[in-house]
Amino acid sequence: MASQKPETIVKATAEDAAAAAAELIKAVVRESVAERGRCHLALAGGTTPHLLYKMLARGVVTGDVPWQDVEVFFSDERDVPPDHIESNYGMIQRALLDNLPVPPNHIHPMPADWLNLDAAAEEYERAIRALVPSDGMLPRFDLILLGLGTDGHTASLFPHTAALTEVRRLVLSQYVPFLGRKRMTFTFPLINAARHVVMLATGEDKTGPVADLLGPHGRHREELPAARVNPTDGRFTIILDEAAARRISN
């Protein structure tokens, strides 16, 4: 389990949780651009953040966020082309990026349609090392957005897979046996180097993993991939709705 307890925000509904995450992301973008001239942001796929992305897209009309100074990356990806229905990049592009004034050359999808996914992961890591400023040894994203799976996975870091214990590589491809396919993913050294990590989890199906992660009687916490999120010198915020959080105080 993380040695430092994360900040936990619980909202009444999934919509309220998404709105809170949207406001936090916008605040980080403003702060990062004001302080360093650029914001390096890594986004999550899956179903949970879809509503968050729609909210961020709707907020663009106010013009109060310097999206033109954001560099967008992706924390994990399925082994499909970018226009495939299962592509995390494709979903995020349709829900969010098509509606933001982020320059196209500031958007960096994972090359997950390469035949050699290991080489693709190495190339993406090289791009991150070249484009994301580092403090010391590791690149530091201003914000990495993560989800939480019903099995406790985050990004594409699944239980009982080799990527969980990786200490050198920042991006890996790995075969996930129960999915029967490969995924590309950030590793924990890169995640935990971020200035701010935000995990968004909503819905009844997240009650179990949230309780294992945060509850006083969490079971098998040491086996939970999400329990390895522990920013070395940054903030960790978990945003939940009441459905997902209902067991953490019991």
Taking only the tens place, the pLDDT of each residue in 160-171 is 999 999 999 999
Residue 217: which pLDDT band, with cuts at 50, 70 and 90?
Answer: low
Contact 22, 59 (CB under 8 A): yes
Specify the number of domains making up the chain: 1
pLDDT at position 104: 96
- Cα–Cα distance between 15 and 125 in angstroms, integer? 34
In a domain, residue 1? The reply is: no
In a domain, residue 44? The reply is: yes
3-class DSSP state of 246: coil
* Domain span at 96: 7-245
State the CATH number of the domain containing residue 148.
Answer: 3.40.50.1360
In a domain, residue 127? The reply is: yes
In a domain, residue 2? The reply is: no
- Cα–Cα distance between 71 and 103 in angstroms, integer? 9
Alpha-carbon distance values, 13 to 2, 19, 36, 210, 250 (Å): 26, 10, 34, 16, 20
Taking only the tens place, the pLDDT of each residue in 88-141 is 999 999 999 999 999 999 999 999 999 999 999 999 999 999 999 998 889 999
pLDDT at position 218: 57
In a domain, residue 250? The reply is: no
Taking only the tens place, the pLDDT of each residue in 31-60 is 999 999 999 999 999 889 999 999 999 877
Could you write out the DSSP letters of every residue in 81-148?
-TTSTT-HHHHHHHHTGGGS---GGGB----TTSS-HHHHHHHHHHHHHHHS-EETTEE--SEEEE--
